[in-house]
Amino acid sequence: MIAGSALTAPYRPLSDADAMRVHRAALDLLERVGMAAPTDRVRDVALAHGCSLGETGRLLYPRALIEDTLARAAGRFTVHGRDPRFDFEARNGTVNFCTGGAAVKMLDIDTRRYRPSTLRDIYDLARLCDMLENLQWFARPVVATDVADLFEFDANTLYACAAGTKKHIATSITLGGHVAKLLPMLDALAGGEGRFVRRPFCTVHATTVVSPMTFAKDSLDVACAAVDAGIPIHCQTGPQAGATAPAALAGTLAQGCAEALASVTIINLLKPGYPVVLGNWAFVSDLRTGAFSGGGGEQALLGAASGQMSAFYGLPGGMGAGMSDSKLPDNQAGFEKGLTMGLAALSGGGFVYESAGMLASLLGCSFEAMVIDDDMLSSIRRIARGIEVSDETLSVEVIAEAVNGPGHFLGTRQTLALMESEFVYPRHADRSSPEDWTDAGAKDIRDRAAVKAKEILATHRPILIEPETDARIRERFAIHLDPVRSEGAAP
């Protein structure tokens, strides 16, 4: 069963006073610098609600408009799966783990070499996610490099996600005009015309801003079209410290907040209270090369600070973590993912994306890494729960009984009652003795995770799209994957 949202024991990289200073700097940027390249629709709705155009045509936001938006934006909403068992609430103070990314390479589980990612990989990753209990929704981690036509690319990505899991799914869409064309597929998957908007099980990821402080036309069109269609949105930005944002981490954070607030404001002007995830992501450059770097301490700080700012705004927010620079699921990947995921999960900001499987600075993905990361997430979720302190858990009487009795706690009623709730037991991390480990074949965690991933991919082939629905979808869309004919049969 999928693990639900975890309440966080907050980690705060910023003091409350400094969080307010970041917010005020973001408001200054929106009021004085503004956003370049608004589309006609965005410009018109913004001007109608008090924005203005600067001398160079940049869209300037009055501070009062941002504050009004934060007051009426959706602070919580239900995230639906196609199966209600996977529903959960997005709200401030909880942490939710999601996949994500747009990798163009897969670390092949058999050859252990990188190759271009494919549509089949998206389907297989969705099937794997479907069986991993700590991942709450599936955002496609790789792109289908084998599908050239843009609309077929969007349609097949959506289909592959839905064919692999009934958890909430998410994907980007390349052009705004594609959104309405894809709505019939979403309705068909939901059970009929008009059914999707009742339980919207898919989110559109729209990178609405190209840093610094410039709207991205195509993605902005997609976000606006998603509002028209009733599809939840994750409006993302991704300023990169030292490249597309200041080298000062505080400056990158302020810019990211400004860019994210600019997009969330537009969505709420189109439809107040619309379900949107604040995507105030902040990234890091290796200043020696200018290349993106996802695994260092600076990224861990920025990820947590982004989450803290989402909590400050009272909105469900998205942040990136787990973005190892290592090319393999090795020690480097482990410490980089542990740093970034741990701090992000404790920030209280909402959704942690790229939570599982991502390698090579988001250029690569791995089945076995996804399994390992799910194991890691069970411990991170436990950390996020914190320690429950009560008269019962302080255990004074239990200690007294043990001291005056057997001298240990192994057989007490409390130990037996709490062993499955107070403690997390790894499924793939090894706790055996060196001798037992050697006798079992001396396999490392990557070996064990690969066995588990192959087992899931070989056996977990549920029919998640009914044959009649599948046939109707294929009549309307050029689907490249073969249908799953029966349980366990390969598509």
Q: Which domain holds residue 411?
A: 393-425
**Quick one: pLDDT band at residue 1, thresholds 50, 70, 90?**
very low
Residue 55 lies in a domain: no
Residue 27 lies in a domain: no
**397 and 254 fall within a common domain:** no
Average pLDDT, integer, range 434-463: 96
**337 and 400 fall within a common domain:** no
**269 and 404 fall within a common domain:** no
pLDDT of 102 above 90 = yes
Q: Tens of pLDDT along 65-101? A: 999 999 999 999 999 999 999 999 998 778 899 999 9
Q: Tens of pLDDT along 144-190? A: 999 999 999 999 999 999 999 999 999 999 999 999 999 999 999 99
Residue 316 lies in a domain: yes
Residue 370 lies in a domain: yes
**336 and 401 fall within a common domain:** no
CATH number at residue 183: 3.20.20.480
**412 and 372 fall within a common domain:** no
Domain count, the chain: 2
Q: Which residues contact 74 (CB under 8 A, 6 or more apart)?
A: 273, 274, 275, 276, 315, 316
The pLDDT assigned to 11 comes to 81
Query: How is residue 324 written in tokens?
Result: 């190892």
Residue 210 lies in a domain: yes
**151 and 209 fall within a common domain:** yes
Q: Tens of pLDDT along 250-269? A: 999 999 999 999 999 999 99
Q: What are phi and psi of 95, to 5 degrees?
A: -120, 135
Strand residues in 81-135 grouped as ranges (E): 88-91, 94-97, 105-107, 114-116
Residue 337 lies in a domain: yes
**309 and 178 fall within a common domain:** yes
**164 and 192 fall within a common domain:** yes
**335 and 400 fall within a common domain:** no
Q: Tens of pLDDT along 104-151? A: 999 999 999 999 999 999 999 999 999 999 999 999 999 999 999 999
CA 182/CA 200 separation, integer angstroms? 13
**380 and 402 fall within a common domain:** no
Sign of the dihedral through C-alpha 104, 102, 284, 27:
positive
Q: pTM for the whole thing? A: 0.95
